[in-house]
Structure 1
Amino acid sequence: MIKTSGILTTSAALATAGALALGSSQPAQAEVSANIGVVSSYFFRGFSESDGGAAVQGGLDYEAESGFYAGTWASNVDFGDSTSYELDLYLGFGGELGEGVGYDVGYIYYAYPDAPGSADFGEIYGELSFGMFSVGAAYVVNDSSESALVNDDLYYYAGLGFDLVDDYSMGFLVGRTAFDDSAREDYTHYTGSLAKATDSLGEFSFNLEYEDTFDKDLKAWVGWTLGF
């Protein structure tokens, strides 16, 4: 899996941190894969998890012929305290429903092992895709005392991704975070990306991020990812 501005995208529907070409397809056979990457800022749902600084990221995945997958993904973070890294664990099932419609459902646990308090939380998620279009949602089902998201918080999104000439691709995503309690203000974020794939050096991307409620500043970041 490689993290995007929305939830996570399985390597069965491989998208780089910038590509956002979300979708699902049945893997041909059981396999183990890995990915590494570097980003100038690690954005998640409209906000920098690395306080505007660079992040080194990577993951390891197992995919079965049945469509079952499981894996882990990690990145350094900076929340202004002693928390230095995020470790995600996930499992799910993806495949085709027929007529070109793909699906992906699963559970992801976001862990922050060195956080000063208990900041972990978990979500169930689902996505449907058709061609260049995708829609999905993630729902918090377990939280902890210091977690940023809590039980019953909901995130949903719509994405568009398509190929251009010479191994370039573009992606766009609009996501909405709906908090369960009225003390926190719901917000919408927008992401756009232009990516260039290479045969041996991975994929390079230029990305824009905007959220409509808090600082309302357009932010840019660049990324590189390599799968193997």
Structure 2
Amino acid sequence: MNANPIRAAVVLGAVTMSAGAFQVALAEGEGPHSVSANIGAVSNYIWRGQTQTDDQPAIQGGIDYAHSSGFSAGTWVSNVDFEDAYGNDTNYEWDLYAGFGQSITDDFSYDLNVIYYAYPDARDSDFAEVGAGVSYKWLSAGIAYTFYGQADDVPGVDNGDATFDEGDLYYHAALDFALPYELGLNLHGGYYDFRYNDGGNDYGHWGVSVSREAGEFGTFSFNYDQIGRETYDDDPKIWIGWNKEF
């Protein structure tokens, strides 16, 4: 694991999930309630620019509930590969989340969400965020605030001096375009503003994803991600994802 491991993101409204995830409808009928499941495969689990699997593949999936009012909730899991602050191997992540979103017009929408990132086989690694996002046509942007983190419990770490602890902020934005031949183009970027170390651990990242639907075979994606700070693994990350809806 890197000195500052980065965890997974789960989709809530306009917040983007890992590109390899896909949704499978379990209940669609008429009425205000719907339930779906998602499962995904990626050659490298990348979140906010950093690998969570030591540049190895991941299988991911979850279950989601949605109400016609705009409320949603769900859970999501993925394998990971890093060490916690005590040197113990961390093998999986389990997220719980809920949110509310609405469309104001045909082009403009918003969402509010909260997510808890759990690492059951790690020590003092869980944290939680509250976030907000907006989207207008092909542009989306948002912010996430860490309001709880177990890193304070690590011996030798002073209050407020740990990443993924209360006060951390993450800013993100993306552009999405439909291209010919059923291709999709996503341009994305973000900036992590850690309360820890007076900015010494802050970083920005950016990336590009190209996807294509393949009928019954689902959707395939080719992805590039890059971190812009040498104190992290700033090698280009090239990875592929696959998803299918049915």
SS at match of 2:197: coil
Does structure 1 residue 161 correspond to structure 2 residue 161?
Answer: no
Q: What's the counterpart of residue 25 of structure 1?
A: none
With structure 2 as the length reference, what TM-score do the two structures score?
0.80
Give 1:70's match in structure 2, choosing from 73, 76, 79.
73
Equivalences for residues 66-105 of structure 1 within 5 A: 66-80=69-83, 81-98=88-105, 100-105=107-112
Deviation at 1:54, TM superposition (A): 0.5
| CA deviation profile, 1:181-219 (whole Å, cap 9, x unmatched) | 335421000011001123322221110010011232211
Q: What's the counterpart of residue 19 of structure 2?
A: 18
Q: What's the counterpart of residue 223 of structure 1?
A: 241
Q: What's the counterpart of residue 144 of structure 2?
A: 138
Deviation at 1:99, TM superposition (A): 5.6
Larger radius of gyration: 2
- Structure 1 residues 13 and 105, CA gap change in structure 2 (3 angstroms): closer
SS at match of 2:215: coil
Q: What's the counterpart of residue 58 of structure 2?
A: 55
How far, CA to CA, are the matches of 1:72 and 1:205 in structure 2? 24
Q: What's the counterpart of residue 8 of structure 1?
A: 10
Number of aligned residue pairs: give it. 214
Q: What's the counterpart of residue 188 of structure 2?
A: 173
SS at match of 1:77: strand
SS at match of 2:150: coil
SS at match of 2:36: strand
Q: What's the counterpart of residue 204 of structure 1?
A: 220
Which runs of 5 or more residues in structure 1 are unaligned?
Answer: 20-27
Which runs of 5 or more residues in structure 2 are unaligned?
Answer: 1-6, 21-30, 155-161
- Structure 1 residues 106 and 148, CA gap change in structure 2 (3 angstroms): same
Paired residues of 2:41 and 2:57 also in contact (CA < 8 A)? yes
The worse-fitting range, judged by mean Cα deviation, of 61-70 and 78-87 is 78-87
How far, CA to CA, are the matches of 2:57 and 2:9 in structure 1? 20
SS at match of 1:37: strand
Does structure 1 residue 125 correspond to structure 2 residue 131?
Answer: yes
Q: Please identify runs of 4+ aligned residues in structure 1 that moved more than 4 A.
A: 12-16
Deviation at 1:14, TM superposition (A): 9.4
Paired residues of 1:189 and 1:209 also in contact (CA < 8 A)? yes
How far, CA to CA, are the matches of 1:17 and 1:7 in structure 2? 7
Deviation at 1:7, TM superposition (A): 4.1
Give 1:190's match in structure 2, choosing from 198, 202, 206.
206
RCO (CA 8 Å, sep 6+): is it higher in 1 or 2? 1
Paired residues of 1:76 and 1:86 also in contact (CA < 8 A)? yes
Deviation at 1:156, TM superposition (A): 0.4
SS at match of 2:217: coil
Q: Provide the identity percentage.
A: 39
